[in-house]
A and B are shown apart, each in its own frame.
Chain A
Amino acid sequence: MIKYFIRILFAVVILLISNCLLAQDDLEELLEKETEERTEQAIATFKSTRVINMHSIERMQQGDLDFRVSHRFGELNSGAYEFFGLDHSGSHLSLEYGIFNWLMLGAGRATYQKTFDSFLKFSLIRQSSGEKNIPVSVSYYSGIAVNTLKFPESENDFFSSRLCYTHQILAARKCSNRLSLQLSPTLVHRNLVKTADEKNDLIAAGVGGRFKLSNRTAVSIEYFYVHDKNNDPGVTYYDPLSVGFDIETGSHVFQLYFTNATAIIEKGYIGETTGNWTDGDICFGFNISRVFTLK
């Protein structure tokens, strides 16, 4: 009786073990399958929606509202009486909202030519690793600017003459936890320029980068090559170059920088920069970004 019971018990144990082994194989296959299917998207390529002047590929998350204040002082070589440019300043205030995680809308107003501006920025591709390997993130930026300066006396006064449009493809790669780089081919269209020889369309290529010094701080640099810009008689335009330092404090991002561009909006700093680094036409500026979560 006892021998018979032991035999039955032994058979049951063997059956149980074999089932476990089969299940283990299934479980391992399931785990491998899950690991292969996981794709990780790169996040926080830049600390803010701007590199310095230039839009980065970052957007507001859905339901987040960014209140941005940008300030640009006068030129350092204006001397001690002008307090090295601090007595003169231009600013830009804007509100930028994440409609979806991939789509952002912004509107603002700059003191530069009393300009109102608005833009859309949306994500096309996200840098990913894992099952899907995508080396870069790409976003598209489209902006409109309206110059509201009073027109001098003239028979004509067309609203269209006040408009400028900017289109950019923003392509960035988070190379490592510390280093991110971005390339931004750009088209700026001005409905009205000064002379018949001056081109309404400006083609430019922006390059920018950010290197993290710590979790909260980073240095950034940005340069725009503007093609065929010097065709306004009597005026010499230069490519804008900016060097900056970012500080993140939880819900604020502070960006402090030096630049030869006195304008803050795309139409101004890309197409109308008259300052030259080698002549000391360098302006100090800062951006402050405060994000509010509305949802």
Chain B
Amino acid sequence: MIILAELSGCYYDNEEDLYPSVLSDCDTVNVSYSRTIVPIIDRCCMECHNNESAPSIGGSIPLEDYADVKESALDGSFYGSISGDPSYSFMPIGDSVMTECEIKQVDSWIMNGAGNN
């Protein structure tokens, strides 16, 4: 650990300058449940949170149907989990990675009422 730190050193970086491409092309305005949110959930969440697996490996939190997604969205747990809020278990786990843009799109969808659009 000490060797890694010595090799890496001390930097004064920020995400805006060092990782700009993550957010520059992100459309958080034209966000809908069917076109934006469903593909994200299918790729990142369905392995564990489908209706069949949710009770066992999905923490009893299904995300296959709109009603279940809306419930998790409105109680704060959906965004809390994907945004790294320490009050929630970080999601997704496994090989899937939700991009910063996708996290912002989910946030935008929830802020606009989490509609079935």
Contact = CB atoms under 8 A, between A and B. Distances in A.
Interface stretch (B12-20, B30-38, B50-58, B62-70): B12-20
Interface residues of A, number: 43
Contact of B87 (A75, A154, A156): A75
A85 B87 CA distance: 8
B5 interface: yes
B21 interface: yes
Contacts of A192: 11, 13-15, 18
Contact of B17 (A75, A158, A196): A196
Contacts, number: 94
Contacts of A90: 86
B74 interface: no
A154 B14 CA distance: 14
A248 interface: no
A149 B17 contact: no
B116 interface: no
B4 interface: yes
Contact of A158 (B18, B21, B22): B18
B13 to A, nearest CB: 5
Contacts of A19: none
A81 to B, nearest CB: 9
Contacts of A160: 8-9, 11, 13
A252 B99 CA distance: 43
Given A112-B86, A144-B2, A146-B1, A152 B97 contact: yes
22 contacts: A85-B87, A112-B86, A113-B90, A114-B90, A118-B2, A144-B1, A146-B4, A153-B97, A154-B21, A154-B22, A159-B4, A159-B8, A163-B5, A165-B5, A191-B12, A192-B13, A192-B15, A194-B15, A196-B17, A198-B14, A200-B11, A262-B87
Given A152-B100, A152-B103, A196-B14, 7 more contacts: A88-B89, A151-B97, A153-B99, A159-B4, A192-B18, A194-B14, A200-B13
